[in-house]
């Protein structure tokens, strides 16, 4: 199924986890992709995994928390692609701590990378998306945006902001034909949740040493006994940004195996 034949796609956080899985999925469906990440090693790993599809894969280094880096990186990506049809904002960081012990620098870093970084990518890509074919933007919120995840107040704030921003953008750019949706992953195994990712923008949660796991017990998924693979999210992202998602905008889809059912 080649839903992405001739479609030009820019994906952030593509060096590991869900961003990498989404890159490989859209390549498999025929897309031409620029994979962006802060980690050169992570991008090299994505290229290595792309196999025969790597001829349609290009890479760009972007630190989404840095405005200058975003401007340079998006400009380079657009030059490579010759336009843009799809933007996937998968890059992000996750930090956990007792709120009373959270420094302002730490709180602002999470907001800067997750929320401001998503905004910067969208702002720089919008002029190209307005001329794109069936243009779509898929942002990454989280189940943390709407449910209580202990020790993750800053992360929840950043993801709640992304979700609200997605709704606002869907209305603002509806007449331009650009669809905006977000996904809410939860109970997904990735570099962000395990701390094992290659991407500098996929950092593990680092739960406090004295974490009370009884607060986390309600977060176990109904489907299966553990976390799902990143592919579980990649397939949904691919649907949302394809013609199959043509009548979906201004909303979010929760992907958590029923954790919050």
Report, as residue numbers or ranges, the catalytic residues: 155
Put residue 180 in one of left, alpha, beta given phi > 0 → left and psi -120 to 50 → alpha.
Answer: beta
How far separated are the first and last CA of the chain, in Å rounded?
31
Biggest CA–CA distance in the chain, Å, is 52
Closest among 64, 38, 73, 52 to 191, alpha carbons compared: 38
CB 188 within 8 A of CB 143: no
Report DSSP letters for 181-239, one per residue.
Answer: EEEEE-SB-SHHHHS--S-TT-------TT--GGGTGGG--SSSSSPBPTHHHHHHHHH
- For residue 254 the two structure tokens come to 């929760």
Which strands sit side by side in the sheet containing 32-37, from one edge to the other?
A: 57-61, 32-37, 8-12, 86-89, 136-140, 179-185, 251-255
């Amino acid at each position: 199924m080649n839903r992405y034949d001739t479609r030009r796609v820019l994906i952030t956080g593509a060096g590991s986890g869900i961003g990498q899985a989404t890159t490989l999925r859209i390549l498999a469906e025929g897309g031409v992709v620029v994979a962006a990440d802060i980690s050169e090693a992570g991008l090299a790993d994505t290229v290595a995994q792309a196999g025969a599809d790597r001829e349609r894969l290009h890479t760009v280094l972007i630190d989404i928390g840095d405005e200058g880096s975003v401007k340079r990186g998006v400009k380079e990506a657009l030059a490579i692609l010759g336009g843009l049809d799809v933007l996937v904002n998968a890059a992000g960081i996750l930090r956990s701590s007792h709120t009373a012990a959270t420094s302002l620098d730490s709180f602002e870093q999470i907001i800067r990378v997750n929320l401001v970084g998503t905004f910067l990518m969208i702002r720089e890509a919008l002029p190209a998306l307005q001329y794109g074919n069936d243009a779509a933007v898929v942002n990454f919120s989280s189940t943390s945006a709407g449910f209580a995840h202990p020790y993750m107040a800053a992360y929840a704030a950043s993801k709640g902001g992304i979700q609200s921003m997605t709704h606002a953008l869907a209305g603002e750019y509806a007449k331009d034909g650009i669809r905006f949706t977000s996904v809410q992953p939860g109970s997904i195994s990735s570099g962000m949740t395990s701390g094992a990712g290659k991407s500098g923008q996929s950092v593990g949660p680092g739960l406090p040493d004295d974490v009370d796991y009884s607060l986390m017990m309600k977060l176990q998924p109904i489907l299966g006994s553990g976390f799902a693979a990143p592919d579980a999210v990649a397939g949904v992202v691919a649907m949302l940004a394809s013609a199959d998602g043509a009548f979906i905008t201004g909303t979010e889809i929760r992907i958590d195996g029923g954790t919050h059912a």
